[in-house]
Amino acid sequence: MNDITIDPLAEMEQDKARAYNQGLTPLHPPQKSLIRLNVGIFTAILIIASVAVEFGIRNELPLAAGSIIGPVSAFGLFLFVMLPNRIYRRWGYDIGPDGQGEQLRVLRGFMWRTDTIVPFNRIQHIDVAQGPFQRMFGLSTLIVHTAGTHNSIVALPGLSTPDAEAMRDTIKGHIRQDMI
Amino acid sequence: MNEAPVISTEPEVPEANDGKSFRRLHPLSILLKSVAAIGQNLIFMGVLYFSVFDQNIVYAGLAALALLVFIVGITTLIWSRFTYHIGPKEIRIKSGLLSRNNRSIPFDRIQDVSLEQKLVSRILGLATVKLETGASAGEDGKLDALALADAEALRDTVRDYKSGVAAIAADVADGPTSAEDIEERPPLFAMDNRRIFIAGLFNFSFILLAVLGAIAQNLDFLLPDEFFNPWYWAEQLSEQDMVNGLSFSAQIAGAIGALVSLIAIGMGSGIIRTFIREYGFRLDRVDRGQPGFRRRRGLFTLTDMVMPIHRVQAAILRTGPIRQRFGWYHLKFQSLASDGSGESDHSAAPCAQMEEVDPILDETDITNVPLGLEFHRVDPALWWRDAIIISVILGGVSVGLGLFVQPAFYALILLAIPIIAAMVLNWRHHKYALTAEQLFVHAGWWRRKLTILPIRKIQTVDVGQSPLDHPLDLATVTVGIAGGSAMAPLKINDIPIATAMALRKKLI
């Protein structure tokens, strides 16, 4: 389904990802960079906050320099190094073979894992959304809305935009009127 | 204002003669809303009287008059800008003073229609129509208020509308007579006063206690200054040696008396609340248009709700340990729309024996638990894992407080016993079963809940694992159904992941 030219390195990467997501289709590889960017921003905020806290309480409590910044930065860097790849490889989706499928399956989560199945005929409507960072990487999010109160929105981020649009068109054909 | 019955003889394009066919609410609703608004502003006036006007009755009176004129004026303006139109397929509501809102609600999408008559509305012969589509919290269309006959006609129009076939005006005209037909048929379920009393007994609540407390607090100028000061009471008691002076058995009797009176207050307020809400409860089946349920109840505020049967998503049977002993169940239907006042499901029989529940369920395509259906337990990790966590936390807290604050805090660890006991009981009562058509899930020991869900109504299925689930290879299945509470979806907790996957395959 990917329109991009597949280089061997990326392909290897994809194979590795499949080992962790029960053999489902992994997300578009640039999504990993996007996750890394997001985690990086989070880490930066964490470190800035720790700097602010340390300078804020310096006058009140005589702590050794860096006794707050140090551990927080170490933790942030640990997250930055460890997390993105692990989050990425747990993601997976499946819509069945080539337009013949009946349901959307979305696998996500590193610590808290969730495996969601939405039958196509239960989908109320579909969005393809793209944020500013996603646009930089040529990624889109497929969002399906169901009538269920739990899981009323199921989002699948990290698809290449043509993929997301193709999936939307596949699913669109299955939407039925007035299911409830 | 045009007082003809609400029958639309509208051409296909309602936009063509905009404005003419649009009707206003009943003029008396101005009075109704003004009174409500004035009630809300009484406190404000009181504050003004004591502060700005320095208790000058003339100025305060003038200000009150100005406020009154302002409120009535605004209410009238809002009323004059609120119009609705009932077309062959939809109802349109135009509202708003400055920013105009033009809403269209297709009859197709209406989940249920309810008529509500508060005490004042009943005296004035008005009724509020609430239309629910389930799109958002609260009502999506609220006509507050119409003349009762108009409201009933509107309700019948919506009820008789069948998707694809617009209701014919002549058909709608004999709506009221059909309502009388229904009156003659025996109801599906009704509650007499004795039954409501029983329902009230189990509807234990401390609302009355809270109200008494609030009254005591507001009228505290009548009480001695020290009334809310516990040290005052402690001193009084120790000085008089009242408790210590009594014999041991008298102390026990006093404690039991206090407990009994507390229970009596709880039961009393439960009974009162139940009477106010459920008085004259009656559930009928309506066959005109789409088959549906019609429910009427209320002592002061009458509500009259019609809900199409095919909107029912799941049946919920609630009970409790004591209630179940006597065979009483509360049957609810889950649908996309919510049942006013915070209840997420539609109450269909607040207090019924199983043999009374079955005929109601027969009207829907949901069947009760078949005889000999085998329920599966979930993994005992559901209780022992939480028990370990709670023991560790309680142990840490009690040791910490016991060491550094007061040795008596060591006793906190004893709290773990009832908590863990409740966990074990909850685990024992969490069971599920699957037939070819339906999923049955039991949950809760104190608040027992049996959900009966037709498999076709399932929207999504999640298999989730928390970090604590991975080492035990357990998973939780969460089922997405239309309606119900978003906070507490239908879940089957802690079953082996292979079982969870197999179960999901059968569900979808």
Residue A85 lies in a domain: no
Judge whether residue B369 has pLDDT over 80: yes
pLDDT at A18: 64
Read off the pLDDT of residues B165-197 as tens digits, 9 standing for 90 and up.
444 444 444 444 444 454 567 888 999 999 999
- Same domain flag for B363 and B452: yes
- Same domain flag for B386 and B434: no
Window from B107-121, B138-152, B164-178, B371-385 with minimum mean pLDDT: B164-178
Domain membership of residue A110 as a residue range:
91-172
| Alpha-carbon distance values, B296 to B180, B188, B328 (Å) | 14, 12, 21
How far A97 CA sits from the closest chain B CA (Å)? 18
Cα separation of B300 and B309, whole Å? 27
How far B385 CA sits from the closest chain A CA (Å)? 17
Going by pLDDT thresholds of 50, 70 and 90, the confidence category of residue B20 is low
Of the ranges B17-26, B86-95, B330-339, B447-456, the best mean pLDDT one: B447-456
Q: Tell me the average pLDDT across B388-416.
A: 89
pLDDT at B482: 85
Cis ω before B255 (30° cut-off from 0): no
- Same domain flag for B238 and B360: no
Q: Burial, B147: exposed, middle or buried (Cβ in 10 Å; 0-12, 13-18, 19+)?
A: buried
CB B431 within 8 A of CB B378: yes
Q: How far apart are the first and last CA of chain A?
A: 33
Residue B225 lies in a domain: yes
Residue scoring higher pLDDT (A164 or A174): A164
CB B272 within 8 A of CB B209: no
- Same domain flag for B480 and B440: yes
Judge whether residue A5 has pLDDT over 70: no
Domain membership of residue B395 as a residue range:
381-427
- Same domain flag for B402 and B264: no
CB B376 within 8 A of CB B433: yes
Beta bridge partners, B126, equal B147
- Same domain flag for B397 and B373: no
Helix (H, G, I), strand (E, B), or coil: what is residue B383?
helix
Contact criterion met (CB < 8 Å) for B480 and A146: yes
Residue A140 lies in a domain: yes
Q: Give B1's contacts (C-beta < 8 A, 6+ positions apart).
A: B23, B24, B27
Window from A76-85, B150-159, B242-251 with minimum mean pLDDT: B242-251
Q: Which amino acid is at B341?
A: S
Which residue is it, tokens 């709290």? Answer: B415
Q: How many domains does chain B have?
A: 3
Window from B142-146, B188-192, B388-392 with minimum mean pLDDT: B142-146
Q: Give B484's contacts (C-beta < 8 A, 6+ positions apart).
A: A149, A150, B313, B314, B334, B344, B345, B490
- Same domain flag for B365 and B478: yes
Beta bridge partners, B132, equal B112
Average pLDDT of every residue of chain B: 82
Residue A60 lies in a domain: no
ipTM, two decimals, is 0.82
pLDDT at B379: 94
- Same domain flag for B358 and B403: no
Going by pLDDT thresholds of 50, 70 and 90, the confidence category of residue B228 is low
- DSSP code of A25? B
User: What is the torsional sign of CA A72, A75, A78, A84?
Assistant: negative
- In chain B, the residue whose alpha carbon lies closest to the alpha carbon of A118 is B460
Going by pLDDT thresholds of 50, 70 and 90, the confidence category of residue B243 is low
- Same domain flag for B371 and B445: yes
Q: Tell me the average pLDDT across A20-39.
A: 90
Residue scoring higher pLDDT (B443 or B100): B443
Which residue is it, tokens 């699957």? Answer: B434
CB B295 within 8 A of CB B308: no
Residues in chain A with CB shorter than 8 Å from the CB of B504 are 117
Q: Burial, A101: exposed, middle or buried (Cβ in 10 Å; 0-12, 13-18, 19+)?
A: middle
- Same domain flag for B318 and B461: yes
Nearest to B462 among A151, A152, A178 (CB): A151
pTM of this prediction? 0.79
Cα separation of B63 and B31, whole Å? 20
In this structure, what token pair is assigned to residue B441?
A: 């899930």
**CATH number of the domain bearing residue A114:** 2.30.29.210
Cα separation of B117 and A51, whole Å? 61
- DSSP code of B332? E
Going by pLDDT thresholds of 50, 70 and 90, the confidence category of residue B483 is confident
User: What is the torsional sign of CA B115, B117, B118, B121?
Assistant: positive
Residue scoring higher pLDDT (B56 or B497): B497
Cα separation of B431 and B410, whole Å? 36
Cα separation of B183 and B370, whole Å? 33
Helix axes B193-202, B248-278, angle to 10 degrees: 130
pLDDT at B450: 95
Residue A47 lies in a domain: no
- DSSP code of B14? T
Of the ranges B136-150, B205-219, B403-417, B494-508, the best mean pLDDT one: B494-508
Quick one: what percent of chain A has pLDDT higher than 70?
Answer: 86
Quick one: what percent of chain A has pLDDT higher than 90?
Answer: 47
pLDDT at B246: 64
Q: How many domains does chain A have?
A: 1
Q: Give B14's contacts (C-beta < 8 A, 6+ positions apart).
A: B21, B85, B87, B92
Cα separation of A70 and B291, whole Å? 69
CB B82 within 8 A of CB B97: no
Read off the pLDDT of residues A54-100 as tens digits, 9 standing for 90 and up.
888 877 777 777 788 889 999 999 999 999 999 998 999 998 887 67
Helices H / strands E in chain B, number of each: 16, 21
Strand pairing class (B292-297; B302-308)? antiparallel
Read off the pLDDT of residues B313-327 as tens digits, 9 standing for 90 and up.
999 999 999 899 999
Residues in chain B with CB shorter than 8 Å from the CB of A118 are 459-460
Q: Tell me the average pLDDT across A25-42.
A: 93
- Same domain flag for B458 and B336: yes
| B contact set with A (CB within 8 A) | 108, 134, 163, 311, 313, 336, 457-467, 470, 478-486, 489-490, 504, 508
Q: Tell me the average pLDDT across B452-474.
A: 91
How far B260 CA sits from the closest chain A CA (Å)? 42
- Same domain flag for B367 and B437: yes
Residue A111 lies in a domain: yes
Beta bridge partners, A114, equal A108, B464
Cα separation of B267 and B209, whole Å? 11
How crowded is residue B414: how many other Cβ atoms within 10 Å of its Cβ? 10
At residue B304's C-alpha, the angle toward residues B188 and B332, to 5°, is 55
Cα separation of A46 and A40, whole Å? 10
pLDDT at B451: 94
Judge whether residue B258 has pLDDT over 90: no
pLDDT at B174: 45
Cα separation of B477 and A59, whole Å? 52
The residue out of B427, B442, B464 marking a domain boundary is: B427
Contact criterion met (CB < 8 Å) for B465 and A113: yes
Cα separation of A55 and B27, whole Å? 66
Pick from A86, A179, A180 the residue to mutate for testing the B interface (most B CBs within 10 Å): A180
Residue B100 lies in a domain: no
Q: Tell me the average pLDDT across B190-207.
A: 86
Q: Burial, B129: exposed, middle or buried (Cβ in 10 Å; 0-12, 13-18, 19+)?
A: buried
Read off the pLDDT of residues B39-81 as tens digits, 9 standing for 90 and up.
877 887 777 777 777 777 788 888 888 888 998 999 999 899 8
Residues in chain B with CB shorter than 8 Å from the CB of A113 are 464-465, 470
Q: How far apart are the first and last CA of chain B?
A: 54
Residue A62 lies in a domain: no
Residues in chain A with CB shorter than 8 Å from the CB of B483 are 149
Cα separation of B500 and B496, whole Å? 6
pLDDT at A13: 61
Sheet holding B90-95, edge to edge: B23-24, B83-86, B90-95, B101-106
Pick from B112, B136, B460, B473 the residue to mutate for testing the A interface (most A CBs within 10 Å): B460
How crowded is residue A146: how many other Cβ atoms within 10 Å of its Cβ? 22
Concatenated DSSP letters of B219-253: TGGGS-TTTT-HHHHHHHHHHHTHHHHS-HHHHHH
In this structure, what token pair is assigned to residue B438?
A: 């339906």
How crowded is residue B404: how many other Cβ atoms within 10 Å of its Cβ? 8
Read off the pLDDT of residues A103-126 as tens digits, 9 standing for 90 and up.
899 999 888 999 999 998 888 889
Going by pLDDT thresholds of 50, 70 and 90, the confidence category of residue B19 is low
- DSSP code of A6? P
How far A131 CA sits from the closest chain B CA (Å)? 26
Going by pLDDT thresholds of 50, 70 and 90, the confidence category of residue B394 is very high
Contact criterion met (CB < 8 Å) for A151 and B482: no
